[in-house]
């Protein structure tokens, strides 16, 4: 009798775990990053039609992603967030996905970098790399389209702008987005690089490389090495 009860308990636990796994799988299959990857893979299998089909499908994904994001509600356990970042319109996200597809489609003569960057850092790096700046509201989708060689996080981006308070635990949603980006970049084979001289001691171990120097030349050397 005891053995039967134990088997029944284990069966219930197994069924519950299967249900949780199935739910996670459904969420994964419906994620924009996975759908972007599927579009790009389909385009690679049919290169003659890809220039026509891939941009159209990426724009459609961008519009659906924006519509779905508009229906989301904040979780009650989160503390009040900093002022929200204005969301990009669906067409704007589609344009950013197309920009990412262009990074994949052209020969890579310079390091392909997706980054969380302050404006001045982006201005310094743009002549030397293929650069896509990430926004909190569509970062994961754009990262999936860009398929970068390097994910770069500039500590200066946390001071002002759409990534303000990143890494300070005052903006938990942005910190969660950063963690998701680090996981996605690593899964895609990209090198993760942190550019920070101080203040990121707790998060620094999550990156492949840390550049503590404020000299952009040293950062560029690391980016080129990571992309080679």
Regarding predicted confidence, which is higher, 79 or 41?
Answer: 41
Give the residue-averaged pLDDT of 198-225.
Answer: 90
Three-class SS string for the chain? CHHHHHHHHHHHHHHHHHHHHHHHHHHHHCCHHHHHHHHHHHHHHCCCCHHHHHHHHHHHHHHHHHHHHHCCCCCCCCCCCCCCCCCCCHHHHHHHHHHHHHHHHCCCCCCEEEEECCHHHHHHHCCCCEEEECCCCCHHHHHHHHCCCEEEEEHHHHCCCCCCCCCCCCCHHHHHHHHHHHHHHHHCCCEEEEECCCCCCCCHHHCCEEECCCCHHHHHHHHHHHHC
pLDDT at 76 (0 to 100): 43
* Domains and their CATH numbers in the chain: 7-72+85-227 (3.40.50.280)
What pTM did the predictor assign? 0.57
Digit-coded pLDDT (tens) for 110-168: 899 999 999 999 999 999 999 999 999 888 888 888 889 999 999 999 998 999 999 88
Digit-coded pLDDT (tens) for 49-105: 545 455 566 556 566 655 655 554 444 444 455 555 454 444 454 555 545 444 444
């Amino acid at each position: 009798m005891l053995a039967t009860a134990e088997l029944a308990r284990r069966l219930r636990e197994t069924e519950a775990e299967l249900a949780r796994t199935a739910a996670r799988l459904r969420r994964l299959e419906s994620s924009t990053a996975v759908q972007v990857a599927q579009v790009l893979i389909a385009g690679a299998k049919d290169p003659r039609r890809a220039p026509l089909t891939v941009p159209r499908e990426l724009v459609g994904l961008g519009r659906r992603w924006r519509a779905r994001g508009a229906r989301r509600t904040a979780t009650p356990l989160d503390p009040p967030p900093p002022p929200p970042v204005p969301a990009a319109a669906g067409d704007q996200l589609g344009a950013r996905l197309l920009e990412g597809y262009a990074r994949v489609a052209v020969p890579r003569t310079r390091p392909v970098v997706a980054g969380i960057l302050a404006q001045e850092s982006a201005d310094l790096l743009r002549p030397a790399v293929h650069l896509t700046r990430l926004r909190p509201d569509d970062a994961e989708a754009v990262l999936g389209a860009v398929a970068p060689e390097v994910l770069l996080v500039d500590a200066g981006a946390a001071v002002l702008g759409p990534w303000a308070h990143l890494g300070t635990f005052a903006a938990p949603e942005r910190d969660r987005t950063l963690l998701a980006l680090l996981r996605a970049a690593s899964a895609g084979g990209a090198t993760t690089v942190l550019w920070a001289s101080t203040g990121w001691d707790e998060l620094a171990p999550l990156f492949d490389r840390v550049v503590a120097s404020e000299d952009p030349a040293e950062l560029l050397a690391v980016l080129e090495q990571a992309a080679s």
